[in-house]
Structure 1
Amino acid sequence: MPSTEHISLEAEQVCRLSSTLRDKYHQGATRQALCGSLCESFLDMVTKRDEMREDVKFRILRLLQNNPEMSQRELAKEVGVSTGGIHYVLNALVEKGLLKLGDFTAAQDKRRYSYLLTPKGLSQKATLTTRFLARKRAEYRALKEEIDILEQEMSCVDAMVPLPRQND
């Protein structure tokens, strides 16, 4: 189940998309061009949502591999989603056979479980790690490129605008 944060993000994207399409329509874009733009934007939005879900799943599996006794509340705090969202994802991971529940015998509260990665879960985590790393490297390259451009722009501005003198 998506969090309200993700829903509001998607709503903002839909509003932006609607505004863009309206502008293109008023500029005389054809119906075919508008539909192509809509499909492309929709696919981008779906892809981003799927990547966010995959990132959440990856982070949960990674955290549980290192600390299987983490509570749902602790996981939610670490991953940045609601406790209900974590509960939903954990149940899905158990149903898919990526996690198995174990009794957390050291806990005083006998309702607590440990979440153990199954061999299938370890394999899935390895796959998710590879994709996560590739996305983060691409984001890093894009961010570095943007920073380099901004630094070049700033050096041009610095060269054109004299710095104020400091009184000695």
Structure 2
Amino acid sequence: MTHVFSSAQALLAAEGLDLGHSDWLTIDQQRIDLFAEATSDHQWIHVDPVRAATGPFGACIAHGYLTQSLANLFMPQLMRIDNMAMGINYGSDRVRFPAPVKVGSRVRGSGQIVRAELLGDTVQLVVRMTMDVEGQARPGCVIDTISRYTFNPICQ
């Protein structure tokens, strides 16, 4: 279920809200290779299946930053901002990679609104996104995303 917010007041009232889970996504070698190409990070643990099979993880693993970037894919499945004049990605805090994400793994995002505060006419929202890995106790990534939203005035 996608949570829909259409005012600053609604976002502020949502502090502490559990946003639920996104759909599952399989991390295949093609996605890893495309990320390696885009970032010029061709380390063998990501892109050499033969060598990685004998490495510390037993297979290729996704780049940590690839796993982190999935927050952009999963967040719109968890929440939508309507009546927005502007929204920006302000940054992130506390990025952690507790466990590797092996090629072929399925991951999903879960979210919680950790903090919502009014800065002038803008709401700064901190959402903790956790990239769950199917069958693993520890997630592949936990990141506190920071976004800022300004809303259109409500016409009466």
TM-score when normalising by structure 2: 0.27
Higher helix share: 1
Point out which structure has higher relative CO (alpha carbons under 8 A, 6+ apart).
2
Q: Which has the larger radius of gyration?
A: 1
* Higher relative strand content: 2
